[in-house]
Amino acid sequence: MHNTFREFRASLHKYYCKFDDFIEARANPPKRITHENWNMMCDRWETDAWKKKKKGYDVDEVEVFHETNFREKEGWINDKAKDAYLEMKRIIAESTEAGVLTISSAKACEIVLGSRSMQTVNPKSGESLGSNVSSTREKEKNEMAYLKEVNEKLTHELAKWEQRWNDIKKKLDLGAEGEEEEEDNAPSNT
């Protein structure tokens, strides 16, 4: 029932946002709510605290997933949602520890849940979460192996270029020393 009320309140806010100014919005309440309740909702949306809450920070997708799948009194809605959340946190922690690759929370969600998972997951049964967790873990391993291989190739190429640069510097230094010796050994005309 709590979710139903939240959805109802969200649909009212969406209706409220369609108007250009708050006076017009207050004058045109939707038919499914009393004028008194509509004004109460409008009062809420017009406060500075509400506006700050809505525009104050960027959304962290992993925390949104946590908020929508975890209840303080009841815990996780199912084990698959809990596993997916822990997997997202693990991916972010590992990518930060390595120092080579940092993964945003949006990317972690995409890896674990898939790019369209938020539209297709049934939160009651968590049908698509289980298969996504294992398949994305495999994708992640493949991606990390590929990145490691690319890193090794680039490191090897860099070492070759550094060696070439050192060889060039030595030749330039030897050439400069040879010219100095020729000047010292040249007969003087005086």
Distance CA 61, CA 104 (A): 9
Residues 73, 51, single domain; the answer is no
Measured between alpha carbons, how far is residue 113 from residues 79, 91, 106, 187 in Å? 14, 12, 10, 82
Domain limit, last residue, from 23, 38, 55: 55
Distance CA 119, CA 160 (A): 49
Residues 20, 82, single domain; the answer is no
The answer to whether residue 136 sits within a structural domain is: yes
Residues 127, 93, single domain; the answer is yes
Residues 66, 139, single domain; the answer is yes
**What pLDDT score was predicted for residue 102?**
67
Distance CA 122, CA 190 (A): 100
pLDDT tens per residue, range 86-129: 998 888 888 766 555 567 778 888 888 887 644 444 455 555 55
Range of the domain at 140: 61-145
Distance CA 83, CA 129 (A): 9
| Least confident residue range of 4-8, 71-75, 126-130, 142-146 | 126-130
Residues 23, 90, single domain; the answer is no
- Alpha carbon dihedral 18, 23, 27, 29, in 10-degree steps, equals 40
Closest by CA to 9, choosing from 38, 52, 50, 48, is 38
Flag whether pLDDT at 157 surpasses 70.
yes
Average pLDDT along the chain: 78
Measured between alpha carbons, how far is residue 122 from residues 54, 62, 105, 115 in Å? 26, 17, 21, 15
Distance CA 61, CA 170 (A): 54
The answer to whether residue 107 sits within a structural domain is: yes
- Written as six digits, the tokens of 44 are 């809420």
Residues 32, 102, single domain; the answer is no
Residues 98, 48, single domain; the answer is no
The answer to whether residue 133 sits within a structural domain is: yes
Q: What is the pTM of this model?
A: 0.35
Tell me if 92 sits within 8 A of 66, measured CB to CB. no
The answer to whether residue 161 sits within a structural domain is: no
| Least confident residue range of 6-15, 49-58, 90-99 | 49-58
Helix then strand then coil, % of the chain, to nearest 5 = 75, 0, 25
Give me the residue label for tokens 């049908």: 127
Residues 93, 46, single domain; the answer is no
Give the end-to-end CA distance of the chain in Å, rounded to a whole number: 109
Residues 86, 111, single domain; the answer is yes
Number of folded domains that form the chain: 2
Q: Is 58 exposed, middle or buried (0-12, 13-18, 19+ CB in 10 A)?
A: exposed
Residues 7, 42, single domain; the answer is yes
